[in-house]
């Protein structure tokens, strides 16, 4: 953004078939790729850019999930996207952008404690890593109704908050492209989304609102099938006519604003706002038929520069004014600050302020669209016929209990849900008002005739007391309902009446909660404690019952005795947890309104009210004192090492007489820790069999080593001076001469307690803290072995007092033993993490490989596509002739797999495991799809055409020098996998079209490889 980078060089990097750990790493840094993807989402609000937004969302999801290292991967990815959004929005504030970029990198690979700190900063509750929480919102709006965000942007924000179930509500109709984008975006992020359309029906001279959610909509096919239904098409056409009346109202309000309200704002606030042109506003907001909220946001955007100029002028005047004048100026600034979007809409654009313009939300005697003349019974009958499997939600706002009873009875059970709460209007009075509706819902669902009869009689008494012109008619209807209330119970005997709870969020308001609610019991314990400290207004007065169920997934069966033993253990309840993977699932039942506080918590906090204007000039971010956490990483690492080395050196220098330990003790101690970290990182990444493209230091996390050295420095005075010398030697007389086993045991346990304690303080997982304590216990016999070995060496060297020397080196020996055990344990942990990441990489790429092959088989059912892939020149020529060109995707997938094998730790082991899990047909497809790399000209042209941007030389050079050896490797690996499938010793034929290895076992690539 700041350097004017040509975005064309990044555009291809958003293609869904290019994965983060693939060839595009040679084109741009991950931070740039994530920033570009977020920028694409935030800036592409126009409806014709939906496909670009979808590509950006896929790239953003993949980039953040792969950037998240260590534990809490999903939560880490949520934080990374949130920081990326803030970084893009901070355009122009370079210092804040640098701080956010630093936070991004720290969150990507940093400590869990810092990650949780960022969650609190951005008001994000921690979600379970299983991603099984009950988090939902049954009513939100995007830019195509009255919201601020596009459908893709809205879904992305819902995922950041942890929402898994979402209902997006539109007014009167929805367009097919909008529905497609919404479902596609939700599918990318794993959110179950429902499309709701709000209709209005006539009931006693006013409108009641009913939201229609067609069921069974999962992808484009379902959407297209729905829109092909004649009844649905007719509904959409009539809905567009209704929506046009809202557009006419917006046009009329613009006229009133230009003519009257601008003058009122000038007189009151001293700012003359520019007039609004309807067409310019439509182009700016990016929707064809904007709402009043769109208009208010557009006016506010135009007004903010003028407000800031006005405040700057008032600030200059206040510098030379007396006390009373400064107070008057301060009040003017406060009034300007309070004139935000909500205030603009309420004071100048609402129907109450424009009474001469017909309100589209009030019935009219004539000129009203036909769709608005239907009763609730007629409307619900028509909607149910259009889509039989659908949800119909009655909006309870402005309704009395007798209205709800009458509508439910006349609709004959077609109403499936009641919107019990909409937090846009949440207040204590609303809670008391909704209690009778909750009791009605419980009576119907429990089939409680006594309670239902009492509610109906109570409504009749209320009508008699209240009176009114229609009281007689109401009483007559309620008496008829009382005589046949058993029919109302029958309507909900099989399918209970559901509950809908929505926020009505538009992404604009500063006075209401944002979107999202979560059931507390389904969140981690830390998140539950965090929610308990929220403001009382953030707890929704609804109590629901959360039911948990555990599912055990057995490992894939294999041949041999071991598989049989695992199967037997999985049948025993006590051993099932050890051999099976457990999945926890939640479901929620029995929603009820309560006055004592429920177990629903709002995920979207309230934003700060106002425009951010102040009489006092805001301090420049570059003038503020920088946070210590934002220091340069290398400098910070050096300071950590120095902070740890000083106490270590001083301990040896002040307590040891022998010059070797006095001057070199700290160096030896640090060398043990540093060397152990280096060796475990290298071994975890592949060791001696690592990729030839990676140097040994490419596997090392220097920040992790510096932090390890920091804490190991403080362990020297603890172990060598306090534990060994003061407590054991002087206090109890325990030395290497008297009781070496007890000495090393106590030192190991002390070290284990220290390591576990600072692991918890640093915010590491409790599993890691427990494992580090366990490693100290294992180090006791290793320390004894080292002690005996050193003692033997001293005796052979002719030492006069070997026990005295051992006593001096006891702490170092204990440290060496502990680090040896840690090196093995953490090395295997690094190896496991690397292999897990490679499995994820290969699962994504192989899914794409098989998906493309399936599309080819479907498109050309009479062709032998497997044989054609084995002959890549023929496949490329055929694809160009058939106008079904998947060649770029096939090449990109092959290049990604080539890059992963060359540059990623433990890729070979992960690929071998993936091949062994495939069927023979899948192995053949995988091997055949890689043969396209032999076509140097086609692959090279794809690089030149911008596959990885304009700087393609590095990627092209890598491909030309590596693909031959790669094809040899995967040829041998697939042959080995097929041999295991067929049984050891079986001869595996070479697939057709693939060159056979020569006498030296190497498959010769095509001409030009040597060049």
* Cα 801 from Cα 917, distance rounded (Å): 61
Task: Give pLDDT, residue 999.
Answer: 37
pLDDT of 994 over the 70 cut: no
SS3 string of 139-200? EECCCCCCCCCCHHHHHHHHHHHCCCEEEEEEECCCCHHHHHHHHHHHHHHCCEEEEEEEEE
pLDDT of 15 over the 80 cut: no
Task: Give pLDDT, residue 1002.
Answer: 36
Tens of pLDDT along 195-210? 999 999 999 889 999 9
* Cα 865 from Cα 993, distance rounded (Å): 12
Beta-strand relationship, 417-422 and 498-502:
parallel
Is residue 58 within 8 A of residue 68, CB to CB? The reply is no
pLDDT classification of 620: cutoffs 50, 70, 90: low
Task: Give pLDDT, residue 428.
Answer: 61
Tens of pLDDT along 93-122? 888 888 998 898 888 876 788 888 999 999
Task: Give pLDDT, residue 989.
Answer: 45
Task: Give pLDDT, residue 470.
Answer: 83
Q: How many CB atoms lie within 10 A of CB 1009?
A: 15
Tens of pLDDT along 746-804? 999 999 899 888 887 776 667 677 888 888 888 999 999 999 999 899 888 888 888 88
* Cα 87 from Cα 101, distance rounded (Å): 7
Q: Is 543 helix (H, G, I), strand (E, B) or coil?
A: strand
Tell me the C-alpha to C-alpha distance, in Å, between residue 205 and each of 361, 405, 463, 608.
12, 17, 17, 39
- Mean pLDDT confidence for 132-149: 91
Q: Which residue has the higher pLDDT, 489 or 49?
A: 489
pLDDT classification of 992: cutoffs 50, 70, 90: very low
> CA dihedral defined by 666, 670, 671, 675, rounded to 10 degrees?
170
Contact partners, residue 181, CB within 8 Å, separation at least 6: 50, 53, 54, 150, 151, 152
Tens of pLDDT along 679-723? 888 777 766 565 666 666 677 778 888 988 999 999 999 999 999
pLDDT classification of 998: cutoffs 50, 70, 90: very low
* Cα 140 from Cα 577, distance rounded (Å): 40
Average pLDDT of the chain to the nearest whole number:
84
* Cα 630 from Cα 677, distance rounded (Å): 25
- Mean pLDDT confidence for 398-403: 90
Is residue 332 within 8 A of residue 269, CB to CB? The reply is yes
pLDDT classification of 1001: cutoffs 50, 70, 90: very low
Tens of pLDDT along 632-656? 888 989 999 999 999 999 999 999 8
HSE at residue 701, side-chain half, CA atoms within 13 A, is: 17
Tens of pLDDT along 467-516? 878 888 889 999 999 999 899 999 999 889 999 999 888 876 666 778 89
Task: Give pLDDT, residue 990.
Answer: 45
Q: What element of type H or E holds 500?
A: strand 498-502
pLDDT classification of 447: cutoffs 50, 70, 90: very high
pLDDT classification of 44: cutoffs 50, 70, 90: low
Report the candidate in 392, 386, 71 with the shortest Cα–Cα distance to residue 208.
392
Task: Give pLDDT, residue 70.
Answer: 67
> CA dihedral defined by 43, 45, 50, 54, rounded to 10 degrees?
40
* Cα 724 from Cα 775, distance rounded (Å): 20
pLDDT classification of 597: cutoffs 50, 70, 90: confident
Q: Is 553 helix (H, G, I), strand (E, B) or coil?
A: strand
């Amino acid at each position: 953004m700041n350097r004017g980078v040509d975005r064309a060089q990044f555009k291809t990097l958003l293609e869904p078939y290019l994965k983060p750990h693939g060839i595009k790493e040679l084109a741009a840094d991950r931070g740039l790729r994530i920033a570009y993807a977020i920028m694409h989402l935030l800036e592409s609000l126009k409806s014709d850019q939906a496909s670009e937004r979808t590509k950006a969302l896929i790239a953003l999801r993949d980039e953040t999930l792969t950037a998240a290292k260590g534990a809490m991967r999903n939560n880490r990815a949520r934080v990374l996207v949130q920081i990326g959004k803030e970084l893009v929005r901070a355009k122009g504030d370079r210092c804040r952008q640098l701080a956010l970029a630093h936070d991004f990198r720290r969150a990507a690979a940093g400590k869990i404690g810092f990650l949780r700190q960022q969650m609190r900063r951005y008001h994000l509750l921690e979600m379970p890593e299983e991603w099984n929480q009950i988090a939902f919102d049954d009513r939100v709006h995007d830019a195509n109704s009255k919201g601020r965000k596009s459908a893709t942007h809205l879904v992305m924000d819902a995922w950041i908050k942890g929402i898994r179930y979402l209902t997006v509500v539109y007014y009167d109709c929805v367009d097919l492209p909008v529905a497609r984008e919404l479902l596609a975006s939700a599918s990318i992020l794993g959110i179950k989304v429902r499309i709701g359309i709000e209709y209005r029906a006539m009931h006693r001279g006013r409108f009641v609102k009913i939201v229609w959610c067609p069921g069974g909509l999962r992808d484009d096919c379902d959407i297209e099938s729905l829109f092909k239904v004649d009844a649905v098409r007719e509904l959409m056409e009539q809905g567009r006519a209704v929506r046009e009346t809202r557009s006419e109202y917006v046009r009329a309000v613009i006229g009133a604003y230009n003519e009257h309200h601008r003058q009122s704002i000038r007189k009151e606030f001293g700012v003359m706002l520019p007039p609004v042109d309807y067409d310019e506003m439509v182009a700016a907001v990016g929707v064809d038929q904007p709402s009043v909220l769109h208009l208010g946001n557009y006016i506010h955007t135009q007004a903010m520069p003028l407000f800031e100029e006005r405040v700057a002028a008032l600030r200059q005047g206040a510098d030379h004014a007396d006390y009373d004048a400064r107070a008057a100026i301060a009040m003017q600034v406060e009034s300007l600050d309070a004139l935000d979007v909500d205030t603009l809409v309420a004071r100048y654009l609402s129907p109450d302020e424009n009474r001469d313009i017909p309100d589209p939300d009030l019935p009219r005697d004539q000129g009203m669209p036909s769709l608005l003349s239907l009763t609730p019974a007629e409307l619900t009958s028509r909607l149910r016929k259009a889509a039989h499997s659908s949800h119909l939600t009655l909006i309870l706002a402005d309704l009395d209990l007798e209205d709800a009873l009458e509508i439910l009875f006349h609709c004959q059970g077609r109403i499936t849900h009641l919107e019990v709460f909409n937090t846009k209007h949440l207040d204590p009075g609303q809670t008391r008002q909704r209690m009778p509706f909750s009791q009605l819902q419980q009576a119907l669902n429990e089939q409680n005739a006594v309670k239902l009869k009492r509610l109906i009689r109570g409504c009749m008494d209320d009508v008699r007391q209240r009176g009114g012109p229609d009281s007689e008619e109401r009483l007559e209807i309620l008496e008829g309902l009382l005589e046949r209330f058993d029919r109302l119970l029958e309507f909900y005997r099989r399918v209970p009446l559901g509950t809908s709870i929505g926020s009505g969020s538009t992404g604009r308001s500063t006075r209401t909660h944002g979107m999202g609610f979560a059931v507390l019991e389904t969140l981690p314990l830390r998140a539950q404690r965090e929610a308990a400290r929220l403001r009382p207004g953030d707890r929704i007065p609804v109590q629901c019952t959360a039911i948990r169920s555990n599912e055990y997934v057995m490992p894939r069966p294999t041949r041999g005795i071991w598989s049989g033993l695992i199967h037997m253990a999985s049948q025993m309840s006590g051993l099932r947890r050890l051999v099976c993977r457990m999945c926890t699932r939640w479901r929620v039942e029995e929603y009820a309104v309560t006055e004592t506080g429920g177990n629903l918590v709002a995920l979207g906090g309230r934003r700060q009210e106002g425009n951010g204007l102040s009489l006092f000039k805001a301090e420049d971010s570059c003038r503020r004192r920088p946070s210590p956490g934002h220091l340069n990483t290398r400098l910070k690492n050096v300071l950590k090492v120095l902070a740890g080395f000083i106490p270590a050196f001083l301990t040896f220098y002040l307590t040891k007489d022998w010059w070797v330990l006095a001057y070199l003790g700290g160096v030896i101690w640090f060398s043990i820790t540093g060397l152990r970290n280096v060796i475990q990182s290298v071994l975890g990444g592949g060791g001696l069999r690592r990729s030839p493209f990676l140097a040994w230091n490419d596997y090392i996390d220097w920040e992790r080593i510096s932090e390890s050295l920091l804490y190991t420095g403080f362990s020297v005075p603890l172990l060598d001076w306090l534990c060994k010398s003061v407590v054991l030697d002087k206090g109890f007389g325990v030395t290497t001469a008297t009781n070496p086993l007890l000495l090393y045991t106590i030192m190991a346990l002390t070290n284990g307690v220290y390591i576990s304690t600072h692991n918890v303080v640093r915010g590491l997982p409790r599993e890691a803290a427990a494992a580090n304590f366990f490693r100290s216990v294992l180090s006791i016999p290793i320390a004894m072995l080292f002690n005996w070995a050193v003692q033997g060496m001293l005796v052979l060297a002719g030492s006069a007092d070997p026990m005295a020397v051992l006593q001096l080196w006891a702490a170092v020996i204990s440290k060496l033993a502990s680090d040896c055990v840690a090196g093995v344990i953490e090395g295997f942990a690094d190896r496991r993490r690397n292999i897990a990441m490679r499995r994820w990489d290969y699962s994504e790429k192989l899914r794409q490989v098989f998906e493309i092959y399936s599309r080819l088989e479907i498109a050309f059912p009479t062709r032998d596509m497997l044989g054609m892939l084995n002959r890549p020149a023929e496949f490329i020529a055929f694809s160009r002739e058939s106008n079904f060109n998947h060649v770029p995707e096939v090449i990109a997938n092959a290049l990604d797999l080539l890059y992963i094998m060359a540059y990623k730790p433990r890729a070979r082991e992960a690929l071998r495991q993936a091949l062994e899990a495939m069927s023979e047909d899948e192995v053949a497809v995988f091997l055949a799809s890689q043969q396209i790399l032999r076509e140097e000209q086609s692959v090279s042209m794809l690089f030149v055409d911008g596959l990885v941007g304009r700087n393609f030389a590095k990627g092209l050079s890598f491909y030309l020098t590596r693909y031959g050896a790669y094809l040899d490797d995967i040829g041998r690996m697939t042959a080995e996998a097929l041999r295991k499938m067929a049984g050891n010793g079986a001869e595996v034929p070479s697939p057709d079209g693939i060159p056979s290895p020569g006498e030296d076992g190497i498959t010769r690539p095509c001409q030009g490889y040597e060049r």
